[in-house]
Amino acid sequence: MNPPVPLASLLERAASAPGVLSASELSRLVSLRDPEDRAALRSAAYAVKVRVSGKRVFLRGLLEIGNICAKNCLYCGLRRDNSAVHRYAIPEGDVVRMACAVHAAGYGSVVMQSGEVESEENTARIERIVREVRAATSPDFAIVLSLGEQSPGVYARWREAGADRYLLRIECANPALYRSIHPADHSWERRRDCLRILRELGYQLGTGVMFGLPGETPADLAADIRFFHEIGADMIGMGPFVPNPETPMGGEPFAPAAALELALNMVAVTRLSLHDCNIAATTALQVLAPDGRERALLAGASVMMPNATDKVYRPDYQLYKGKPCLDETSEQCRACLSARVARIGEQIAWRDPGTPPHYLSRTQGP
């Protein structure tokens, strides 16, 4: 057998062009354990991030607009069968008010997220909300939806109403692994098809995965990153699986320190592999370590998603337990983020939607 390629030359090759790493190279990189190797990986990824979008961090205000969900994902606190949850749907006018407050606070985009509801009533409600927010904010303010799997017609109506982006994690690229964390009637293929349709409809496409799932291998993680390429994702949001005791997967083992290292490796390898997409330093990383999100930024992430939902709703939106910032107002959140970002030598790109270069080049040419 040939000796493995030195890590430095592998990183150099990865940084030279997107998509050049093989599945086994991706597996090797996500599995790096030696602290020096990990540091080399993360700084190579950070250099690519700086080349692509500068030392800037884009903000998306997150609105958790409802927690009613028709699905029963085995890991999620909002699953239909969790009767411990008090269910809510924020009234339309309040959602519009909160989205306008996100715009007024200088965030470049707003994400409206909820459990999955497929009904004409919900479709029309979202349509009205999107239209109102579109009309009340500047044209470059990005409206992002994360409302689960829907029919092509519904996605088209929301796009028509003015939504720019859609986030739908595939959760894991391996269909067998997906089946092991969902009930039998949840379909990996439908989720993938939703992503394809969203892309065809002209949305900026966000997807992502959870990692640290029971039975997951480095080859599965490599497949996740290859999936991001194949589906043509513009934005990636990834996070550790955090067991929630109110769910069937609540008893799975969880080691926060190991989960953080894996998260940072995944962010770095994704950046080295995709180059010009946006990658979120997700809130779940802050559960693992107080500076988890900053470390993700230094490993190649470019976006933060502060919670901008009215405080009264936050305790009822717990996908996993230990969610940070349950008590903070948006104003406190804003000040805290600016300080955190400045400490690592980056700047918040106020009022900039941070449209992913990947989207611009696929829609406008290089």
Any contact of residue 116 with ligand SF4 (CB under 6 A)?
Answer: yes
- Identify the residue whose tokens are 């990383």: 285
Which one among 267, 284, 305, 333 touches ligand SAH, defined by CB under 6 A? Answer: 284
Count of residues that bind ligand SF4 according to CB under 6 A: 10
Rule CB under 6 A: say whether 241 interacts with ligand SAH.
Answer: yes
Q: Do 108 and 349 contact (CB within 8 A), yes or no?
A: yes
Q: By CB under 6 A, what part of segment 101-130 binds ligand SAH?
A: 113, 115-116
Burial 223-239 (b: 16+ CB within 10 A, else e): bbbbbbeebebbbbbbb
Q: Which residues, 6+ apart, have CB-to-CB distance to 247 below 8 Å?
A: 74, 75, 76, 77, 79, 82
SS (H, E, C) 240-307: ECCCCCCCCCCCCCCCHHHHHHHHHHHHHHHHHHHCCCEEECCCHHHHHCCCHHHHHHCCCCCEECCE
Angle at Cα 349 formed by Cα 345 and Cα 355, nearest 5°? 125
166 binds, among ligand SF4, ligand SAH, none (CB under 5 to 8 A by kind): none
From the list ligand SF4, ligand SAH, none, partner contacted by residue 146 (C-beta under 5 to 8 A by kind): ligand SAH
The one of ligand SAH, ligand SF4, none whose footprint includes residue 64, by CB under 5 to 8 A per kind, is none
- Helices 256-274, 218-231: axis angle to 10 degrees equals 40
Candidates 66, 108, 115, 306; binder of ligand SF4 (CB under 6 A) is 115
Residue 88 neighbours by CB distance under 10 Å: 16
Q: Which one of residues 63, 78, 233, 349 is an interface residue with ligand SF4 (CB under 6 A)? A: 78
Binding residues for ligand SF4 restricted to 122-151, rule: CB under 6 A: 148
Q: Which of 79, 191, 334, 340 binds ligand SF4 (CB under 6 A)?
A: 79
Rounded to a whole number of angstroms, the minimum distance from the CB of residue 244 to ligand SF4 is: 10
What's the rounded Cα separation, in Å, for the pair 126 and 144? 12
Calculate the CA dihedral of residues 41, 346, 103, 276 and round it to 10 degrees: -40
Among 82, 122, 123, 146, binds ligand SAH (CB under 6 A): 146
Question: CB of 284: closest distance to ligand SF4 in angstroms?
Answer: 13
Least Å from the CB of residue 53 to ligand SF4: 29
- Number of C-beta neighbours around residue 33 at 10 A: 9
* 168 touching ligand SAH, by CB under 6 A: yes
240 near 288, Cβ under 8 Å? yes
With CB under 6 A as the contact rule, the residue among 109, 244, 309, 318 that binds ligand SAH is 244
Contact pick of 11, 73, 222, 269 for ligand SF4 (by CB under 6 A): 73
Indicate if the alpha-carbon torsion angle 67, 233, 322, 71 is positive or negative: positive
User: Is residue 71 a contact point for ligand SF4 (CB under 6 A)?
Assistant: yes
Q: For residue 10, what is the enclosing H or E element?
A: helix 7-16
Nearer to ligand SF4, 116 or 261 (CB): 116
- The four Cα atoms 59, 63, 67, 71 give a dihedral, to 10 degrees, of -40
Question: Least Å distance between CB 157 and ligand SAH?
Answer: 18
Q: Shortest Cβ distance from residue 73 to ligand SAH (Å)? A: 7
Q: Which is nearer to ligand SAH, 106 or 148 (CB)?
A: 148
What does the binding site for ligand SF4 look like in residue numbers (CB under 6 A)? 69, 71, 73, 76, 78-79, 115-116, 148, 319
